[in-house]
Amino acid sequence: MVRTFDAGYFECIVIGAGHAGCEAALASARMGVKTLILSINLDSIAMMPCNPSIGGTGKGHLVKEIDALGGEMGLNIDKSFVQSKMLNSSKGPAVHSLRAQADKHQYHTEMKKVLENTNNLYVKQAEVTSLIIEDHMIKGVITSIGSKYTCDVAVLSTGTYLGSTIFIGDAELRSGPNGLSGSYELVDSLNQYEFDLRRFKTGTPARVDKRSLNFDKMEVQWGDQDYELFSFMNDELRLDELPCWLTYTNNVTHEIILSNLDKSGLFTGAIEGTGPRYCPSIETKLQRFTDKPRHQLFIEPEGRDTNEMYVQGMSTSLSEDVQLAFMRSIPGMAQCEIMRPAYAIEYDCINPLMLNLSLELKSVKGLFSAGQFNGTSGYEEAAAQGLIAGINAALKFKGEEPLILDRSEAYIGVLIDDLVTKGTDEPYRMMTSRAEYRLVLRQDNADLRLTQKGYDIGLVKEDRYLRFQKKLEMIDKEYMRIQSVNLKMESLNNALASIESSPVTQGTKLIDILRRPEVFYKHLIAVDETRPNELTKDVIKQIEVSVKYEGYIKKQMQQIEKFKALEEKKLSYNINYNEIESLRLEARQKLMKIKPDSIGQASRISGVSPSDISVLLVYLEQQRRKNK
């Protein structure tokens, strides 16, 4: 036993400095709470141990929302990206998804700088080995060298470090990600407090030496020329773009992989953890989709100052010699040299049903958790939870109500509600199809949805708030204008003819002509004489979307109204569902375990039927009258 000593008091302690931990610590400190962030290694702050990119479908929405609330991820990727692309730009505005390739090292350095220069925030290198919990309340943490820090609230975000094992071929290494040490003693501490732990798995492909690749045999992949940024605070940034490359596997690759399956921990049974269906290893892909003649892989730069290239699509737990052999069968990779081999990693995480919607553990007051520890996968999912956990830890410390975003307000709300209401059997990844109110939860309007909320809790500062208000004002003014401006028939028909849109028979209101799916602001420059010069791209986008898709958006708003009515019927945490005999047994058990916050949340629990919900409504009314 190491001698422990008192190392000081912090109002909030954040354990882990990955994408969840960084957001949590920054939010808490910026809200005026004295915060300590602890990381096993300060050189791994905001490390990206897998893909060198931020955003993508669903994930890009999360980053925009984090930014709108006053989080850091959007600002940080804007400082460190090397290429950017709006995915789905040919589809509807609700599914446009921004994704940027990152310079990993720069991403880390910039985030570390921000942490180091934030008031109220203390950054320390230390491994937490146990939690101090008394009377179901968090009291502090103890580190591997005996430092004992006390606190009132804490955020647990251990990522893939917790109890982690690395698999490469038949090698099984007790190690954290990327050669860093894992966190093992903490597992015992969590078990002691009866955390419902489970084992998940994920993996990452190899990094190869750029000098060993022949790009002539691959297709070059550039980003958008007219790229957008993640943060609503940034208007324009200059970028020296780096390309990505596309190539494909072939029969030979597949044969090599299939004949070496016995050398993968996945198939020998060594790996027990549940992996995500959406990032299968290459060996899993080949086995499940035998008829696919080739699989694509993207070669992506890890940064500006390195020759390391990430081989997207080739995640594997096969041994390094097999990895090298199959990669060398791929066009452009014949001479390829591995710099870091691919690996699979297993780690401990909790059953997220242990959490409230605020991300506080039901069984430990003041202890919040976020990221992979909660059973998710992905930097953005982690950051989103980290932000909410940090905000709610700070609010808890101040004695204020938690910030809970619902499914109609944000992807973050969908993510957290899914986790704590339905749980998850595999690492959870955000997808736009998980959001039932997708048409309203667009990435372009994240600020309109959330910045006010961020301001109300004290996280959004004046500069951002002013920008936001100005934008709101401009949208209102422009909306008034397009309703009143009449375009003359002759000049309008000229503009319409140039884009093959059918002519009008009389002068037409600007708003009505913008309703046509094919007509955009840019087509009307010549006719729209009163258009104000200061109109920004952002404002135009909001107007175009709300005019063109008005019918659909209205329909969705009506659905949201119905949804809200049930969310607003709150269920007390103290209800003893076992005493409501009209509930079916399964419903009673589920409700006791999950303790939903509202009738709406209860209705999303599997095993709670519509008739159980009716019983709850009557029960609520009964209680209300009794209390009157």
Partner 1 sequence: MLFDTITAISTPIGEGAIGIVRISGPDAFPILSEIFKPIRSSSGILENRKMYYGHIVSDEKIMDEVMVVKLPSSGSYTMEDIVEINCHGGLMPLREILALILTKGARIADKGEFTKRAFLNGRIDLAQAESVMDLISAKTEIGFDIAMHQLKGHLSEKITKYRDILIALMAEIEVSIDYPEEDIEEITYSKIESTLTDLKEHLSVLIEKSKSGKIIREGLKTVIVGKPNVGKSSLMNALLKDSRAIVTEIPGTTRDVIEEYMNISGIPIKLIDTAGIRETEDVVEKIGVQKSKHYFNEADLIIFVLDASEVLTKEDHDLMELVKNKHAIVIINKTDLESKIEMAYINAVLVDKAIIKASVHNDLGIEALENEIKTMVFGNEVDMNHTDIISNTRHIQLVKDAEKNILEALSAVRSGMPYDFIEVDVKNAILNLGHVTGESVEEDLMNTIFSNFCLGK
Give 480: exposed, middle or buried? Use CB within 10 Å, 0-12, 13-18, 19+.
exposed
Q: Which is nearer to partner 1, 140 or 313 (CB)?
A: 313
Q: Which is nearer to partner 1, 115 or 435 (CB)?
A: 435
Minimum distance between the CB of residue 422 and partner 1, rounded to whole angstroms? 8
Residue that has been written with the tokens 């502090």 in this structure: 140
Please, are residues 345 and 160 in contact by the beta-carbon 8 Å criterion?
A: yes
> CB of residue 43 vs partner 1: minimum separation in angstroms?
25
CB of 525 to partner 1, least distance (A): 24
Environment class of residue 170 by beta-carbon count within 10 Å: exposed (0-12), middle (13-18) or buried (19+)? Answer: middle
Give the nearer residue to partner 1 in terms of CB position, either 399 or 610. 610
Nearer to partner 1, 323 or 451 (CB): 323
Q: Which is nearer to partner 1, 7 or 94 (CB)?
A: 94
DSSP assignment of 220-251 equals: EE---SS---S-TT----------EEEEE--H
Closest CB to partner 1 among residues 578, 614: 614
* Structure tokens that stand for 397 in this block: 């410390």
The nearest distance, CB 130 to partner 1, in angstroms, is: 35
Exposure of 120 in the CB half-sphere (CA atoms within 13 A): 17
Smallest gap from residue 342 Cβ to partner 1 (A): 11
Question: What does the binding site for partner 1 look like in residue numbers (CB under 8 A)?
Answer: 50-51, 57-58, 87-88, 90-95, 97, 205, 248, 276-280, 285, 288-289, 292, 294-296, 298, 312-313, 315, 431-434, 438-439, 517, 549, 552, 555-556, 565, 580, 582-584, 609-612, 614-615, 617-619, 621-622, 625-626
Contacts of 383 (CB under 8 A, 6+ apart): 19, 20, 22, 23, 62, 63, 66, 71, 73, 371
DSSP string, 22-34: HHHHHHHHHTT--
| Closer Cβ to partner 1, 297 or 510, answer by number | 297
For the bound state, the minimum distance from the C-beta of residue 505 to partner 1, rounded and expressed in Å, comes to 21
Report, in Å, the least distance between residue 587 CB and partner 1.
9
What's at 86, amino acid-wise?
Answer: M
d(CA 376, CA 530): 50
Between 227 and 465, CB nearer to partner 1: 227
Instruction: Please state, in angstroms and rounded to a whole number, the distance separating the CA atoms of residues 116 and 109.
Output: 10
d(CA 140, CA 150): 4
Task: For residue 134, count other CB atoms closer than 10 A to its CB.
Answer: 9
Complex with partner 1: residue 502 or 609, whichever CB lies closer: 609
Confirm if 234 and 211 have CB atoms less than 8 A apart: no
Q: How far is the CB of 92 from partner 1 (least distance, A)?
A: 3
For the CB of residue 285, give the shortest distance to partner 1 in the complex, in Å: 5
Helix or strand holding residue 318 (H, E): none
